[in-house]
Structure 1
């Protein structure tokens, strides 16, 4: 078949609908356009005939992520930005992952971030992206945030991210940083620091123990924030310096208790 026989001809693909040949290049290559999305590419004629061409504007990652024309791998190795992007989509749209990590229930990704080329470009503009061990965070800039987007995400060192891990994940009756000693009949307050614990004291009430933890935790956050002040995004620094550990009364507990609201 020659140029006249190819241009304008429609072919079916295995998974991406129909494509139309828009321009004949030579006996092995042509330009094509996917009819459904308008995505254009150059393809080999033999692959078109087999239906093996791919529409890179179709959401193929977790059902929502669009790869576009940006490569996910170089020399057989996945790029850092792709791994971040793929992991972000997994946290939000993988049912099995969300069932094991319920804190990600109801989390989602902005339309811009669903498009890999946009996410990649955004990453390269961010402070800390090229630093080893820094992590993508969605909670520091906007408290309680559930949406990954360019307005809510920032890169931070692991040391900062670990500040917001709950200290007693399996404990529900008492707030973070507080436990009850039945033998003494006292409430103990403690702060996690570098994998260890600092005891803050023994108290007669949950609230008193929690207030000791609250003050120590907020002071700890400020110390770490100032340590990284010259390296992290200014928005992250301001958010850390104004961070407050909040509490509420848990009506489902045996007795009124204070509960920490943290990331």
Structure 2
């Protein structure tokens, strides 16, 4: 059985100004990324299947390079919530294999990141945002203020269209709320974000 050392042997803190102790937040972000992608299956990480095809670019195998990206791009928001690294928003194009890299990643407030989580494992056979009970297909979406937009339909396609419309509206509302604090490329990505049936 592979050990942690076997799986991550090519990843190194490297020589440079960034240290795992002095730059602990950057290091924890880097280390967590590696563990999700490289160790989740080995250690029964609850979402291991989500990360089984995810790659990390060669340059981020060295912490020095990752830390430079981290400090160039990290920011805080007045809400006080944590800001997380995300590799999906800029790659939201249906590709199965995605990668953590300087070109594909940005930092995102937790509220936005949570809003874009698809919970594929939980929804079963229906399109995203659709469930079936009481003889009806239901489109359901949490909106700003954590209120639920919910409506029943006779077929899953109509329920999905309702969910898609409400979810995209919610994402744009979040973009506007965070507009003055988040990077422009994140704002633009959210404003053009489209929900796909296979998300």
Q: What interval of TM-score do these two structures reach, taking the shorter chain for normalisation?
A: 0.7 to 0.9
- Pick aligned residue for 1:84 from 26, 29, 36: 29
Are 1:64 and 2:13 matched, yes or no? no
TM-score of the aligned structures, taking structure 2 as reference length: 0.83
Superposition misfits of 4+ residues, deviation over 6 angstroms? none
* Bigger proportion of residues as strand: 1
- CA distance in structure 2 between the partners assigned to 1:146 and 1:64 by the alignment: 20
Match of 1:237 in 2: 187
* Secondary structure in 2 matching 1:113: helix
Match of 1:158 in 2: 110
* Secondary structure in 1 matching 2:137: strand
What's the offset of the Cα at 1:238?
Answer: 1.0
Are 1:207 and 2:136 matched, yes or no? no
* Rg comparison, structure with higher value: 1
What's the offset of the Cα at 1:239?
Answer: 0.9
- CA distance in structure 2 between the partners assigned to 1:61 and 1:86 by the alignment: 13
Segments of structure 2 that go 5 or more residues without pairing to the other structure are: none
TM-score of the aligned structures, taking structure 1 as reference length: 0.64
User: Does the CA-based 8 Å contact 1:128-1:156 persist in structure 2?
Assistant: no
Match of 1:23 in 2: none
User: Does the CA-based 8 Å contact 1:168-1:177 persist in structure 2?
Assistant: no
- Pick aligned residue for 2:60 from 113, 122, 125: 113
**After superposition, where does 1:1-263 map in structure 2 within 5 Å?**
62-69=8-15, 70-74=18-22, 79-94=24-39, 95-97=41-43, 100=46, 101-128=48-75, 133-143=82-92, 144=95, 146-166=98-118, 169-182=121-134, 185-193=135-143, 198-247=148-197, 260-261=198-199
User: Does the CA-based 8 Å contact 1:106-1:146 persist in structure 2?
Assistant: yes
- CA distance in structure 1 between the partners assigned to 2:76 and 2:43 by the alignment: 25
* Secondary structure in 2 matching 1:128: coil
Report the number of matched residues: 186
CA RMSD of aligned residues (A): 2.5
Segments of structure 1 that go 5 or more residues without pairing to the other structure are: 1-58, 248-259
